[in-house]
Amino acid sequence: MTHRREPAEAPSGDDPHSPIAPLLHFDGGEFDGGSAQAAFRVTHALCGHPLFELERLVRLSKELSPRLVEYNPGSLPVIHDPSTTPANSLSVAETIRRIETCGSWMVLKHVERSPEYGALLDRCVDEVAAAAGLDPAKLIRRAAFLFVSSPGAITPLHLDPENNFLLQIRGEKAMHIARPGNRAVIGERALERFFSGGHRNVLLDEDLHDHLSRFELGPGDGVFVPMPAPHYVHNGDNVSISFSATFHTLETDTTQGVYWINDKLRRLGMRPAPPGVQASADRRKHAIYKSLRAIKRRLPPRR
Ligand SMILES: [Fe+2]
């Protein structure tokens, strides 16, 4: 079954950029209660949107705080130690303008802080809520990211700390994604470290491809990457632009909090239960985590 958000009134023509036309199309059967046990395909109607033109992205990169713009060489191996990443000598604007030839990939983080991108993110996530039969308020901590990549660029195997609808706008890429519960790919201790601020890259033997599912994406395609599913990205022969609409549910926010607390308990010599094993302990750990997160948010930013 294809879930489409029913517009509140008749759509104005077939314009996919109309504020009332549905943006996402996916099978809600794979998406239960705002979460999923494995990655699945979606399609979308965002291609050609003016917010994804290169010059608009250059403008956006200048609006964002420099710490929200990350760019990397695109020649990294699939399994990569982040301490050995070489520097990119171009500015952000130069990297975007020369993306066809500069052999890089970059990410513009938290682009929802720019109001137009924030409105687009909310439309996407509200449609997810409608398809999943959820109150939109239950899809929390919403954030959007934009990826701009040179032909052939590789993003090494890594984790992301949120549920992610990765929507391909321009060019092609292959996403290789493990199931979030596959402990052959990543163990509990590595997850605890990641959710306590460890680097996102996952270091593993090369012999892991049997555990990953491959999703070929072209313009108009997308994939849902559930948290915490390790994945790597191999771009095709053209410049690639992808929009990432991310969010948490109570379940994934709890998982993140439990891993954060478990890391601390492990350092004290304890052997804490992983998330999902002891519901009452999970709730207590999540409550502590949320309280500490709220305190941290009130502290002045570190310089
Ligand atoms: Fe990712």
User: How many angstroms separate the alpha carbon of residue 59 from the centre of ligand 1?
Assistant: 24
Strands (E), 65-129: 69-73, 104-108
- Torsion (CA) 119, 123, 125, 127 in degrees, nearest 10: 170
Q: Indicate whether 11 pLDDT > 60.
A: no
Cα 9 to middle of ligand 1, angstroms: 36
How far is 290 from 248, CA to CA, in rounded Å? 13
Question: What spacing in Å lies between the alpha carbon of 244 and ligand 1's midpoint?
Answer: 9
Q: Which residue has the tokens 């003016």?
A: 50
pLDDT of residue 205: 67
* Distance from chain centroid for Cα 279: 26
Closest CA to 229 of 148, 175, 286, 285: 175
The rounded Å distance from CA 39 to ligand 1 centre is: 12
Using the mean position of ligand 1's atoms as its centre, give its distance from the Cα of residue 276 in Å.
24
**How many CA atoms lie within 13 Å of 23's alpha carbon, on the beta-carbon side?**
28
164 CA distance to ligand 1 middle (Å): 8
Alpha carbon of 288 to ligand 1 centroid (Å):
27
Where exactly are the structural domains of the chain?
Answer: 23-249, 253-298
One-letter amino acid for residue 291 of the chain: S
pLDDT of residue 6 exceeding 60 = no
Tell how far the Cα of 231 is from the centroid of ligand 1, in angstroms: 6
> Per the confidence metrics, is the pTM higher than 0.75?
yes
Residue 133 in contact with residue 29, Cβ under 8 Å?
A: no
Between the CA of 124 and the centroid of ligand 1 the distance, in Å, is 18
Q: Which residues contact 284 (CB under 8 A, 6 or more apart)?
A: none
Q: How far is the CA of 157 from the centre of ligand 1 (A)?
A: 8
Per the prediction, the chain carries an average pLDDT of 86
Instruction: Say what the pLDDT of residue 218 is.
Output: 98
Per-position DSSP letters for 157-222, written without gaps between them: EE--SSEEEEEEEES-EEEEEE-TT-TTTS-HHHHHHHHTT--SB----STTGGGEEEEEE-TTEE
Instruction: Give the environment of ion ligand 1: residues with CB less than 5 A.
Output: 160
pLDDT digits (tens, 9 = 90+) for 225-255: 999 999 999 999 999 999 999 999 999 999 9
- Non-local (6+) Cβ contacts of 143 within 8 A are 109, 110, 112, 121, 162, 246, 247
| Mean pLDDT within 37-52 | 94
Q: Cα of 48 to ligand 1 centre, how many Å?
A: 23
**Residue 248 Cα to ligand 1 middle (Å):** 15
Distance 55 CA to ligand 1 centre (A): 24
Asked if pLDDT for residue 16 goes beyond 90, the answer is no
Q: What is the mean pLDDT of residues 49-69?
A: 92
Residues near 13 by beta carbon (within 8 Å), at least 6 away in sequence? none
* Crossing angle between the packed helical segments 279-298 and 250-267, to the nearest 10 degrees: 90
SS3 280: helix
pLDDT recorded at residue 41: 94
Give the pair of three-digit tokens for residue 193. 């470290």
Cα(76) to centroid(ligand 1), Å: 15
24-27 and 40-44 strand pairing: antiparallel
Query: Is the per-residue pLDDT at 183 higher than 90?
Result: no
Give the span between the Cα atoms of 243 and 168, in whole angstroms: 7
Max mean pLDDT among 11-20, 31-40, 290-299 falls in: 290-299
Residues 90-103 have a mean pLDDT of 82
pLDDT digits (tens, 9 = 90+) for 117-172: 999 999 999 999 988 888 999 999 999 999 999 888 888 889 999 999 999 999 99
CATH topology for 23-249 is: Jelly Rolls (2.60.120)
Determine the distance separating the centroid of ligand 1 and the alpha carbon of 62, expressed in angstroms: 23
Maximum pairwise Cα distance, the chain: 63
- 234 CB neighbour count, 10 Å cutoff: 16
Confidence at residue 51, expressed as pLDDT on a 0 to 100 scale: 97
In the reported structure, the alpha carbon of residue 156 is separated from the centroid of ligand 1 by a whole-number distance in angstroms of 9
How many Å lie between the centroid of ligand 1 and the Cα of residue 149?
Answer: 13
Gap from CA of 67 to ligand 1 centroid (Å):
18
